[in-house]
Structure 1
Amino acid sequence: MGERTPRSIRVDGLSSLPATPQRRQQRRLAVAARELITRMVTSSAGEADLAAAADRLEEVVDLLGEMPAEHIYEGFSEAANAGPALRAMAMAMAIDSGEGNGEDPDHGTAESDEERSERLGFFDQSPLIGLANPLSPPLVLEHDPSSPERIRGTVNFGPAYEGPPGCVHGGHVAATFDELLGAAQSLSGTQGMTAHLEVDYRSPTPLGEDLELSGWVQRTEGRKIWARGTLHVDRRLCAEAEALFVAFGPGDFQVLLEARGG
């Protein structure tokens, strides 16, 4: 058998996330909040109507404020240097590819849907691909079935992301490339953090239209991974980007967790 092509951690992590009852409601809440944002930025209501809406929204904020809250990485913040967080990602990838059985390789015990949902839930909180994050457009990423060396994506930006009239703000385009290429870099067989991102804007990126993205690994050198990507609408090139990622280990990730109080 030939050597197996590496998979993208964030693509497989999100796609293998169990839809527990709690997660379904989190995503439902995010859909409502996403629609709320759209209605807010396009509303031309008068003072009285806006005041009434604000009053009701403040009630919802108070309601959520009474509920438990935690950092999105708390599910595995004890990950420390043994790297169970990275192990959880590897488990998700193995299960998705049919090579795993859902067991923790270190402990030989199968995870329940609730346990996996908690440990992998941070993928669902991404501001770009997370279905439980109202800031997410969301960007949908998948392995390109016609080219295993590529990640492809689709996204449709609403009015909340407007920059120039009728166009997506360039900052959101850049963030989208960061997420796309962050997924594509995993195809190198390792994972790193963004060290440099360069975007060339070739033509306006329209709001309200289905945008198509493609990302791939350009080359690797030691801990460095270079990836490139494109963004098109109806075959018209809107932007292209190149990013440099630097690989890190579980210990490096733990430093970030400790610095943010995780």
Structure 2
Amino acid sequence: MSHIRSPIVLMYHGTPSETPESVYSIKSNLFAQHLRYLQKNDWTTILFKDLATPHSLPEKSIVLTFDDGYKDNFQGAFLPLLEHNMKASWFITTDCIGGHAQWLGKISQQSQMLDATQLLEMHSAGMEIASHTCSHPDLSRLSYDQQFAEFNSAKKILENLLSAPVTSLAYPFGRFNANSLPAAEHAGYSLACTTRPGWFGSENNPFLVRRIAIFSGDSPGILARKLAYADNDVSWKKIVSYYTGRVLNKLHAKVGID
């Protein structure tokens, strides 16, 4: 599609082999279809931290991000990525390493989290292991000091584990407040991402990088539309409305209608 722009950032969560319990998780065999689509259509996977130097990136660059750090990502995403010679970035909630995602409301196989050994293996294979805070709080309710403590502690835990710098952050639930950005910068991060959809670069602030959410029923066709329109809602109804609006705007401009 001629109007595809890059780089673009996608947001995944769990990749279970069975039916996902969350609308934000995607079945592993469907994720494999996404990888085949991206490869067939000449997308180059990059790491989230690579966005710090966007002008040096190849055309059709894409960042695959995984929030939280679910254990099923190892078999369902990491190994398939290796097979396709592709890479991705994982935002890890450090209090839950080797445990369960407490915020999901129930404990199940799909709430299990990656352990330290798996994270080290993924890092060694070229994946980016980044920060999703310690406890996965709603940052919009926290003070500057509370947020700084979450950001700083998670960064140190991951850096001690990996023996490597951690410079990328994702805000849990996509929520943040006026204190979040300075707290993240002062904790030593270079980039942070939200859950707001849109193109990379549509926000000038490196601590407000936009991402496109992937949902459990997103086929390769839906993925293609999300890449083309940089939006979470790419229903045909919305696309038709979008183009109808553009045509009407052009007609109005042509005849001088305000």
Larger Rg: 1
User: Does TM, scored on the shorter chain, surpass 0.5?
Assistant: no
Output the TM-score relative to the length of structure 1.
Answer: 0.25
Which structure shows the higher strand fraction? Answer: 1
Output the TM-score relative to the length of structure 2.
Answer: 0.26
